[in-house]
Structure 1
Amino acid sequence: MILRSDTDEFILPTGANKTRGRFELAFFTIGGCCMTGAAFGAMNGLRLGLKETQNMAWSKPRNVQILNMVTRQGALWANTLGSLALLYSAFGVIIEKTRGAEDDLNTVAAGTMTGMLYKCTGGLRGVARGGLAGLTLTSLYALYNNWEHMKGSLLQQSL
């Protein structure tokens, strides 16, 4: 039996918006990036641990060394991606509140500023590279996010 619901499954206060704002999505973004980073780092740590200990026989010291690499890499990647997500979310919320609008310009600006701040210890060249990386990634995301809308607009123009 398939359950179908034609109505919303939650109750909203009168006048409330049905979509989540950038501040509400920040928690999901930060947590998701931390979990993704931890999973990716653990897999990378397992790969590195097995590679570094390939000449050792299976023993407790080898297992401990592999486990240390897994936890170290997992924590490193979780921290890195979590920090990036925190910066991106903070910039996004600040830009949204400053401009009073939520659109793709906020997304691209927040990504660019995140890249610039994250790589600011690398001097002017690092800031430029980080900003370019943030601009590129968030621009690609904005294009992906609006692909159906853009495709529909192009089809209407051609008719």
Structure 2
Amino acid sequence: MFNYNDKQFVYDAKVLNKDGVGKVEDTVEAIDWAIKNNVKIINMSYGFTHYYQTLYKKIIEARQHDIIIICANGNDIFGQKEYPASYQETISIGVMKNEKSKSIFNSNDNADLYISLNNHSEKMINNTSEATALATNRLIKKYKSDFSNMDKQELITLIKEE
């Protein structure tokens, strides 16, 4: 939870089915809902292996409303780009296997930030979804008033701080 004007808000928008599969239209609809409800940070611990113009346009619109979008770099070990993590407008999170090497679960080497889950996970699964949740949590904890004047690199620096 995080406080905003003395109220606590954490929303969960279900866009994937029980098998972890979802349609891009559901994600676009969820982002649209977030825009209309003044959400400040979106965590997307999943992605698509195809570029979708409708998704990209909605990501642009969310950023125009100063929404920060933190995305998993992907858990596909075949080196593909994942979307929306590959969009410049998002902050993509990869995962470290340990302090010196990246986990095989990163879809590619294009993450904006790689996070080690050491001391954060009992099972040490080392997946990008868990690393993305940790990154989002770090940013939420620092949420005091307004991130809208911060650029992507400044936000990444905040996330790096524990």
Question: Which of the pair has more CA radius of gyration?
Answer: 1
Higher strand share: 2
Q: TM-score if structure 1 supplies the norm length?
A: 0.29
Q: TM-score if structure 2 supplies the norm length?
A: 0.29
Higher helix share: 1
